[in-house]
Chain A
Amino acid sequence: MRASWPLLLASLLIAGCSTVPPRGTGDLGVVIERDAGRVQVVDTTARASLGRVNGLGDLSHASVVFARDGRYAYVFGRDGGLTKVDLLLRRIDRRVMQAGNSIGGAISQDGRFVAAQNYAPGGVKVFDAVTLAPVADIPAVYGNGRLSKVVGLADAPGNRFVFSLFDAGEIWVADLADPAHPAITKFPAGKQPYDGLITPDGRHYIAGLFGEDGLALLDLWHPEQGVRRILDGYGRGEQKLPLYKMPHLRGWAVAGTRAYLPAIGRHEILVVDTQSWQETARIPVAGQPVFAIVRPDGRQVWVSFAFPDNQHVQVIDTESGRLVRTLEPGQAVLHLEFTPRGEAVWVSSRDDGKVTVYDTARLEKLAELPAAAPSGIFFTHRAGRTGF
């Protein structure tokens, strides 16, 4: 092949000039600006906003997973929009409307497939992570051909996706060995699973049950054993406490051999031994917990709350099992995210229009960044973790 080398070189230079200087993405992330339908791209080293990417649609309850090269963020919008955002060029790379009402997604172990979980039409849709071309459609059919809302979608080792069917009360495991024809295994889980989590090692999947007093546990090393009920009678049904926001289980709440779970409707965090799956303690907290998130080193758990206590964030020391600090970062705290190794945590306060960065050792404020009604905060180190 004969090419004009000077021409090729010139075009390479021009292409090079139109991009950003080379840099890694390991300290980047996105902050959802919910009402504006856009994200801020942030730098967790500089504690600064690098810019915004607009046009992402309805971002209420938006969530994000990352390509494993850490360059692309897949943003799942409530309106069914799935947008692949280029963090380096800070622009939309691809975007598809994949459902009518959607609630988040996951990326496969090998990074090749992005899956979205949908309320309407109820089910999971799988897309090529590079092109967002459809790969597989998994309608959540139950009973007389009805479609269930899907919640708690998680990636599992073996290129599997695990998710829960809210209306059907089932947990499904989809094996993508043949990506266009996922093999589905179905398990009865209990009434109204509302969210799920997978443990950091990818072995155990836990679904929280809204309609029953307990949780459902599936051992993915031994799916033949079926779903086990754990924490039976923890108090969900003792007194039906009004619930102002469903807790989120997603994101690890596992530190060492203990899992920290928001008790539904109760002002408590449940501490569970991950060997026996028995409750070992309860920690009283300031309100109904929404997120219980473990600092990456496992030493602290940070808790956020439902309305009307959502101006608080509480910090639990995992060694003593005690609350060590109550912080008030701002009004309507919606989410928090640790930096890759957890020396800092970013907290969004929707009604104060800001993100607050805390030093997690001294529990002191390091920085504040303005953001328009910020909700979720997602950093690229999720790319390398199961369940994120």
Chain B
Amino acid sequence: MNAKGMVRGKAPALLLGLGALVSSAVGWAGEGMSPERRMELVRLVRNDCGSCHGGRLKGGLGPALSPESLRDKVPEGLRETILHGRAGGAMPPWSDFLSAEEADWIVEQLMKGFPNAR
């Protein structure tokens, strides 16, 4: 079972539009990722990270993931938290579902304001 099974693209037109939007926002991370995969990651973050952090990433049982709340964080530390979880905390490891590059891309997007899935 992997993330691909559950976060699936829907309308090709929507995907293309979002792909373009997301690409334009990409810096060094995620260069090798397809627009479809980026879209899957956007949905994964909104839906599955959203279970604890809120669908709008404003926090829930888990902390907010807005640019303001992440401003003082070190990106590499956030990547490690995403991939390996937090010992003693509720954050699970996502390394079964995400590569390091994908985690970096997610961190970058979170820190600049995460794209919408629509």
> Which A residues contact B (CB, under 8 angstroms)?
34-35, 58, 60-61, 78-79, 101, 103, 119-120, 149, 151, 166, 194, 210, 242-246, 306-311, 331-332, 350-351, 353
- Evaluate whether A120 and B59 lie within 8 angstroms (CB atoms) in the complex, with A242-B85, A308-B6, A311-B6 already known: yes
Complex CA–CA separation, A61 to B43 (angstroms): 16
Residue among B10, B48, B85 facing the most chain A CB atoms (10 A cut-off): B48
Identify which of residues 59-115 in chain B touch chain A, using a CB-to-CB cut-off of 8 Å: 59-61, 85, 90, 92-93, 97
Asked if B6 and A61 sit within 8 Å, CB to CB, the answer is no
Interface string of B34-67 (1 = CB under 8 A from A): 0000000001000110111011101111000000
Asked if A308 and B5 sit within 8 Å, CB to CB, the answer is yes
Which residue on B lies nearest to A310, using beta carbons? B6
The number of A-B residue pairs with CB atoms under 8 Å apart is 77
Identify which of residues 1-28 in chain B touch chain A, using a CB-to-CB cut-off of 8 Å: 1-3, 5-8, 10
Partner of A35 from the list B54, B59, B90, B117 (CB cut-off 8 Å) is B117
**Interface pairs (28), CB distance under 8 Å:** A34-B55, A35-B55, A58-B56, A78-B54, A78-B55, A78-B60, A79-B58, A101-B58, A101-B60, A119-B59, A119-B60, A149-B61, A166-B61, A242-B85, A242-B93, A244-B92, A246-B52, A246-B90, A306-B51, A307-B6, A308-B3, A308-B5, A308-B6, A332-B47, A350-B47, A351-B8, A351-B43, A353-B10
Asked if A331 and B10 sit within 8 Å, CB to CB, the answer is no
- Size of B's binding interface in residues, CB under 8 A: 28
A-B pairs, top 9 by smallest CB distance, nearest first, are A60-B55, A242-B92, A245-B51, A308-B1, A307-B48, A331-B6, A332-B6, A244-B92, A242-B93
Cβ of B112 to closest chain A Cβ, rounded Å: 21
Which residue on B lies nearest to A331, using beta carbons? B6
With a cutoff of 8 Å between Cβ atoms, the chain A residues found around residue B59 in the complex are: 101, 119-120
Is chain A's binding surface mostly helix, strand, loop or mixed? loop
Asked if A243 and B6 sit within 8 Å, CB to CB, the answer is no
With a cutoff of 8 Å between Cβ atoms, the chain B residues found around residue A307 in the complex are: 6, 47-48, 51
Which residue on A lies nearest to B97, using beta carbons? A308
Asked if B60 and A244 sit within 8 Å, CB to CB, the answer is no
16 further interface pairs, Cβ-Cβ under 8 Å (given A78-B58, A119-B60) = A35-B117, A61-B51, A61-B60, A78-B56, A101-B58, A119-B59, A119-B61, A243-B92, A245-B52, A246-B52, A308-B3, A311-B6, A331-B5, A332-B6, A351-B7, A353-B10
Which residue on B lies nearest to A307, using beta carbons? B48
Cβ of B15 to closest chain A Cβ, rounded Å: 14
Asked if A101 and B6 sit within 8 Å, CB to CB, the answer is no
Complex CA–CA separation, A79 to B2 (angstroms): 31
With a cutoff of 8 Å between Cβ atoms, the chain A residues found around residue B118 in the complex are: 35
Is chain B's binding surface mostly helix, strand, loop or mixed? loop
- Evaluate whether A331 and B8 lie within 8 angstroms (CB atoms) in the complex, with A35-B117, A35-B118, A101-B58 already known: yes
Complex CA–CA separation, A242 to B54 (angstroms): 19
Residue among A60, A151, A331 facing the most chain B CB atoms (10 A cut-off): A60
Partner of A246 from the list B3, B5, B61 (CB cut-off 8 Å) is B61
Which residue on B lies nearest to A309, using beta carbons? B1
Which residue on A lies nearest to B56, using beta carbons? A58
Which residue on B lies nearest to A243, using beta carbons? B92
Residue among A194, A306, A332 facing the most chain B CB atoms (10 A cut-off): A332
Asked if B54 and A243 sit within 8 Å, CB to CB, the answer is no
With a cutoff of 8 Å between Cβ atoms, the chain B residues found around residue A103 in the complex are: 60
Complex CA–CA separation, A332 to B40 (angstroms): 13
With a cutoff of 8 Å between Cβ atoms, the chain B residues found around residue A58 in the complex are: 55-56
- Evaluate whether A244 and B54 lie within 8 angstroms (CB atoms) in the complex, with A35-B117, A308-B3, A332-B6 already known: no
With a cutoff of 8 Å between Cβ atoms, the chain B residues found around residue A151 in the complex are: 61
Complex CA–CA separation, A70 to B10 (angstroms): 36
With a cutoff of 8 Å between Cβ atoms, the chain B residues found around residue A331 in the complex are: 5-6, 8
- Evaluate whether A245 and B48 lie within 8 angstroms (CB atoms) in the complex, with A310-B6, A311-B5 already known: yes
With a cutoff of 8 Å between Cβ atoms, the chain B residues found around residue A310 in the complex are: 6
Cβ of A44 to closest chain B Cβ, rounded Å: 27
Partner of A244 from the list B8, B43, B51, B56 (CB cut-off 8 Å) is B51
Residue among B8, B58, B93 facing the most chain A CB atoms (10 A cut-off): B58
Cβ of A13 to closest chain B Cβ, rounded Å: 44
- Evaluate whether A60 and B2 lie within 8 angstroms (CB atoms) in the complex, with A35-B118, A353-B10 already known: no
With a cutoff of 8 Å between Cβ atoms, the chain A residues found around residue B93 in the complex are: 242
Complex CA–CA separation, A98 to B50 (angstroms): 21
Which residue on A lies nearest to B88, using beta carbons? A240
Complex CA–CA separation, A119 to B60 (angstroms): 7
